[in-house]
Structure 1
Amino acid sequence: MKKAIIIVALVFASLANAQKGSVLVAGNIGYYSKNTGDLKSNYFEFAPKVGYQFSENMTVGIEAAIGNSTNSNRNGNTIIEYKENDFKLGAFLRYSQPLAGVFSIFGDLGVGMQSAKSSNNIPFSNDAKGDGFYVGLVPAVGVDLKKGFCLNFSIGGLGYDSLKYDGASDATNTFAFTFGKQASVGISKNF
């Protein structure tokens, strides 16, 4: 898979730098699946962005993410299924710097609000709803393709989020340092 992405990037590569006054449309799609017998974990996320490049190196815009996860665990002879849907909406600031040829590096700083709803198949359990905020910094490398298209590669980032569920006395606060622990491939287009 990695070789195919690199080959596609090199075959279509040409210098097509984003220019001041252009509109950036970008996004990532993520999927994770793990199965052990009848125990399963699945996660799907779609994260689009739209921004305006107001200088040669700076872009500001809005970002969103919609995610869905399902997990199953065994409790005795019973399999309990947990489901969670989450949504994020916020703003981002991107600083980009061209490198030699078709490559560039950039960093996205995003901040916004988030909400989550979780449920399970345990009888008499209630759905849980939560609201909070997030902050994230993601460095990445872009490979410029023809006609303003760019493939974006990142290998993690920094993140902090806070989520408080209804009825809970405390919020769940998460700090994530994921450099080298996750990889992301996205695509963007400047108009």
Structure 2
Amino acid sequence: MVNAQKNSVLLGGNIGFSSDKDGESKVENFEFSPKVGYQFAEKWTAGVEGSIMNVKTTGEDKTEKYKIGGFVRYSTPFSNLFSFYMDLGAGYQNTSLNNAKGIYAGIDPGLFINMKNGFGLNFSIGGINYNNLDGKNDPRQNNLDFNFGKTLNIGISKNFAL
């Protein structure tokens, strides 16, 4: 980050909501994804990440999804206002639908805009994501998604000097 320095703590996350309607069917997603990391070198941060998602579909039970894992971030400044970053994250996930469990991994590039005093806005437009889920009554699912330009994530972060 532009304001981030070695030996600082990154605290950030995203909150998202989406709603899709197709005829009488409606799907609503709500997600909260926090991150906490330690900047151990000038451009490198490592930490933990998580995600809680609720999916509500018309006529079906609500589905809950959880993720917990680690991430590594490489960031490089363009100016005092902008930085580019690349997050690599991986970890464990489960969903209440058939009690499915598995792993995830993802590479997500983004843009950091320095607001003031270590606060910033984070923008990303997708990445490359792998998901593996195995449920009790369903066959194993393996998904590899290239979703550049298909999603928009906006988050906030704050760096704290130690």
State the TM-score, normalizing by the size of structure 2: 0.94
1:102 CA drift (Å): 0.7
Whole-angstrom CA distance in 2 between matches of 1:32 and 1:82: 17
Matched, 1:185 2:154: yes
Q: What are structure 2's unaligned runs of at least 5 residues? A: none
1:16 and 1:61 map into 2 onto residues whose CA distance is: 18
Q: Report the alpha carbon displacement of residue 101 of structure 1 after superposing the two structures with TM.
A: 3.0
> CA contact under 8 A between 1:16 and 1:147: conserved in structure 2?
no
Deviation (angstroms), 1:100: 2.1
Match of 1:104 in 2: 83
User: Please, which of 109, 124, 145 is the counterpart of residue 139 of structure 1?
Assistant: 109
CA 1:150–1:160: 2 relative to 1, 3 Å: same
Counterpart-to-counterpart distance in 2, 1:167 and 1:41: 23
Aligned to 2:93: 114
Q: Which protein is richer in helix relative to its size?
A: 1
**Separation in 2, partners of 1:57, 1:16:** 9
> Residue deviations 1:146-184, cap 9 Å, x none?
11001011011000010000143x311111100011111
CA distance in 1, matches of 2:42, 2:99: 41
Tell me if structure 2 keeps the 8 A contact 1:16–1:145. Answer: no
Identity of aligned residues (%): 46
Query: Counting strand residues as a fraction of each chain, which structure ranks higher?
Result: 2
| Runs of 4+ in structure 1 over 2 Å off | 34-39
- 2:2·2:83 contact (CA, 8 Å) conserved in 1? no
**Structure 1 position 162 matched with structure 2 position 132:** yes
Q: Which of 44, 52, 62 does residue 66 from structure 1 map onto? A: 52
- Over aligned residues, Cα RMSD in angstroms? 1.5
Which residue identity does 2:122 align to in structure 1?
Answer: N
Asked if the contact 2:3/2:117 (under 8 Å) is kept, the reply is no
CA change 1:137–1:82 in 2 (3 A) is same
